[in-house]
Amino acid sequence: MPTIRVEMFEGRTVEQKRALAQALTEATVRTLGGSAEAVDILFYDIARQDWATGGKLWSDTAPAKPAGS
């Protein structure tokens, strides 16, 4: 089964990562078959100053507002 690598800006809570791991695992098993125990998910928290898009560091832009604010 697959190993899923999730790269995202740092700041998510353990609860958010737990929920995402569960959702990704369920979707993988539903789509590909196999067992949940065979699905590995790796989280990589990236600092905004370590990620650039279009030649600009994300730390140089205003952070996105959380949904619902």
CATH number at residue 13: 3.30.429.10
What is the count of structural domains for the chain? 1
With beta carbons less than 8 A apart as the criterion, state whether 41 and 24 touch.
Answer: yes
Q: Give catalytic residue positions.
A: 2
Per-residue pLDDT at 1: 78
Per-residue pLDDT at 62: 74
With beta carbons less than 8 A apart as the criterion, state whether 41 and 1 touch.
Answer: no
Low-confidence ranges of the chain (pLDDT < 50): none
Per-residue pLDDT at 69: 53
Domain membership of residue 28 (yes or no) is yes
Q: Are strands 40-46 and 3-9 parallel, antiparallel or unpaired?
A: parallel
Domain membership of residue 56 (yes or no) is no
